[in-house]
Amino acid sequence: MSAMTNDRLVLTNANVIDCVGERPIVGGSVVIERGRIGEVLDGSRSPDLRHADVIDLDGMYLLPGLWDVHIHPDYLAGVSAVDQTIAFGHRLMEALTEAGVVAVRCAGAAHFMDVAWKRAFEAGQYVGPRVFAAGHFLTTTGGHFLTSGHALECDGPYGFVRAIREQIKNGVDHIKLNLTGGIMGPPWDRHWHSFLLDDELEAAFAICRARGFPVMAHATNPAAVKAAVRLGAHSIEHGYMMDAECVDQLRERDSWYVPTLAISHLTPEQASDPWEKRWVEQRNLSVDLCERADKAAAEHREWFQRALAAGVRMALGSDIRPLKEAALLELGLWVKDGATPRQALLAATRDAAGLCGVGAALGTIEPGKLADLIVVAADPLQDITNLRTLRLVFKEGRLVADHRAGARQVD
């Protein structure tokens, strides 16, 4: 296809997975005008092709672009802030063009590099995914994630309040608050450990409520999950250990749950498909960390399944790198753990946009919404790994990646 010359784009002859209806719209067409979806037509109706660029999708599958709502930059020890920021931008752009990830929510980044790239992409200086920024990962002295370089140690109620105000001043969208340890960390950092005192928790949540900033809560054990939900956390991240009361409270209070299955599931003992095995080989985690993940996996899986069955609001976040592989791996793990391909896909599109507060504008294929779309060659509702057959990526109706045979590089 030559460069688009009109404000109107029509995608024809597609199987449209709109993430609204249960089944694809066979032989459908989508009309895009000035970056927004104008019409979604089934095969019985023909679109107006006048004054439009037209792409015949030849029966391929058109769907909303993917989201990953728990990401971090790479951990680059000894690398300058400038070079880390540049590398993060490249990883974000790769995720958009090579995996169809149209939006990400950051869960902690040093030097406000997530804010920097959010602004660069919004200004049109570079083409990348939408970024919802957190700034630093806020933990305690002797807390979690310290070796990453992305954590900021805080102590005492005012220590947390001041750090949160600093994040807000620097342009974040939400606050990442660490309540507990994790699977990946030193021996004194375990996921059943809780880190914050009650007065620290109360103060941190109070200032977020006062300033209107949602809390993204790293909570990995039942006490921490319930404390975060009680205090008004917008989302619970990980939830490796929960109980029935946690699930009930998540559902009753309409809190989001982002399970990040990859953290406990991607080990040599558990990897089962070629992509997982390749990732595990390249990641080369220590034996100790693999053992910790293996021991946590069954319980993590159980609470993921129980939350899914209970109707808890859930969205897809990976917490792994590289970003161009992360969401695809997490989608596969959702299905492996019992989600249907449609449930997994909704978690990575409609529900992820809803978690980020932009569900009215993004996440489904409906008239009036922004046209952040992807095209894949095979049906992901039959096999979720078909999302790897990426052919086209659109951001606000602009073609930003074309992987069809013989296609020219998109400018």
Say whether pLDDT at 2 is over 50: no
Q: Could you tell me the domains of the chain? A: 8-64+363-402 (2.30.40.10), 66-355 (3.20.20.140)
Question: Where would I find the beta strands (DSSP E) of 83-170?
Answer: 101-106, 130-132, 137-140, 151-154
> Among the listed ranges 2-16, 138-152, 311-325, which one has the minimum average pLDDT value?
2-16
Strands of 130-132's sheet in order across = 66-71, 101-106, 130-132
The tens digit of pLDDT for each residue in 253-279 reads: 999 999 999 999 999 999 999 999 999
**pLDDT tens digits, one per residue of 74-106:** 988 889 999 999 999 999 999 999 999 999 999
User: 153 vs 75, 88, 147, 351, CA distance in Å?
Assistant: 17, 22, 12, 31
Cα of 268 vs its chain's centroid, Å? 24
* Residue 121 to residue 169: CA distance in whole angstroms: 20
C-alpha 102/C-alpha 221 separation (Å) is: 31
Determine the Cα angle at 194 with ends 188 and 195, to 5°. Answer: 75
* Overall pTM surpassing 0.85 (yes/no): yes
CA 160 to chain centre: 26
| pLDDT score for 5 | 74
Report pLDDT for 409. Answer: 62
Share of the chain above pLDDT 70, in %: 98
Q: Each residue of 195-249: pLDDT tens digit?
A: 999 999 999 999 999 999 999 999 999 999 999 999 999 999 999 999 999 999 9
Q: How many CB atoms are located within 10 Å of the residue 141 CB?
A: 10
Contacts of 32 (CB under 8 A, 6+ apart): 8, 9, 10, 11, 38, 371, 394, 397
Per-residue pLDDT, averaged over 173-190, amounts to: 95
**Tally: H helices and E strands in the chain:** 12, 18
What is residue 3's predicted lDDT score, i.e. its pLDDT? Answer: 63
pLDDT of residue 407: 74
Q: Taking residues 28-51, report their average pLDDT.
A: 97
Q: At what angle do helices 244-252 and 287-310 cross, to 10 degrees?
A: 50
d(CA 77, CA 61): 41
